[in-house]
A and B are shown apart, each in its own frame.
Chain A
Amino acid sequence: GAVVSQHPSRVICKSGTSVKIECRSLDFQATTMFWYRQFPKQSLMLMATSNEGSKATYEQGVEKDKFLINHASLTLSTLTVTSAHPEDSSFYICSARDFAGSYNEQFFGPGTRLTVL
């Protein structure tokens, strides 16, 4: 199956700093990528949909100035958490959609654990 990678897998930062998370589709082109966050013992919550070459679409309640998304190429999307605070600590997961596949499926990355001190 298609492979999606994320980097870094873990990051610890001080409050007020910005953190960038990368999501890459390794063996397919993804015109659309998705960013989710997951709190402990809860399911994934969609934050935003990222389309290559255009602005991301954010879900209601997600601050677009706080969570900056850039999808500059068909294989890379980045999520930057700006001026991070402890409440931003969470597990961030990206997915990439493979339009060429049989089911137009989203493949998920392994996630990034963000801890803000």
Chain B
Amino acid sequence: KNQVEQSPQSLIILEGKNCTLQCNYTVSPFSNLRWYKQDTGRGPVSLTIMTFSENTKSNGRYTATLDADTKQSSLHITASQLSDSASYICVVRSATNFGNEKLTFGTGTRLTIIP
């Protein structure tokens, strides 16, 4: 069964500090992995996307890593801002050569930035 697990479930940090969110997955066949930011009451917004051959990808203060061997990914946020308070969801896409695709969602990490 395809699964995506995220840790921690929730995290509270001071504004300006860095943090790292973790994602472990068992999804096959693997196509790509995305990190999304979801503000309360809003739809998810894509932060990064990584394919099998990519180890690191940055988007401003967000840096995602992927280890396809251990099936782990992380999202590092530097110099956190109050606006970073949101849920961060790890989503793994699987796809077969027949075009069937499925997204497996993690349960998310709820990040709260305090002043």
Residues on A lying within 8 angstroms of B by beta carbon are 1, 4, 6, 41-46, 91, 93, 95, 103-111, 113
Q: Does B72 count as interface, using CB distance less than 8 angstroms? A: no
Residues on B lying within 8 angstroms of A by beta carbon are 32, 36, 41-46, 49, 89, 101, 103, 105-108, 110
Please tell me if the beta carbons of B42 and A46 are within 8 angstroms of each other in the complex: no
Given contacts A46-B103, A105-B46, A106-B103, contact A91 B41 (CB under 8 A): yes
Q: Which residue of B lies closest to A44 (CB)?
A: B105
* A residues less than 8 Å from B107 (CB atoms): 42-43
* A residues less than 8 Å from B110 (CB atoms): 41
- Counting residue pairs across A and B whose Cβ atoms lie within 8 Å, the total is 37
Please tell me if the beta carbons of B49 and A43 are within 8 angstroms of each other in the complex: no
Given contacts A43-B89, A46-B103, A103-B49, contact A111 B108 (CB under 8 A): no
Q: How far is the CB of A36 from chain B (nearest CB, A)?
A: 9
Given contacts A43-B106, A43-B108, contact A111 B41 (CB under 8 A): yes
Distance of A105 Cα from B110 Cα, bound (Å): 24
Please tell me if the beta carbons of B49 and A105 are within 8 angstroms of each other in the complex: yes
* B residues less than 8 Å from A111 (CB atoms): 41-43
Q: How far is the CB of B115 from chain A (nearest CB, A)?
A: 24
Please tell me if the beta carbons of A108 and B41 are within 8 angstroms of each other in the complex: no
* B residues less than 8 Å from A107 (CB atoms): 46
Please tell me if the beta carbons of B43 and A108 are within 8 angstroms of each other in the complex: yes
Q: Which residue of A lies closest to B110 (CB)?
A: A41
* A residues less than 8 Å from B46 (CB atoms): 1, 105, 107
Given contacts A46-B103, A93-B43, contact A103 B108 (CB under 8 A): no
Given contacts A1-B46, A103-B49, contact A43 B41 (CB under 8 A): no
Please tell me if the beta carbons of A108 and B44 are within 8 angstroms of each other in the complex: yes
* B residues less than 8 Å from A41 (CB atoms): 110
Q: Which residue of A lies closest to B44 (CB)?
A: A108
Distance of A110 Cα from B41 Cα, bound (Å): 8
* A residues less than 8 Å from B49 (CB atoms): 103, 105
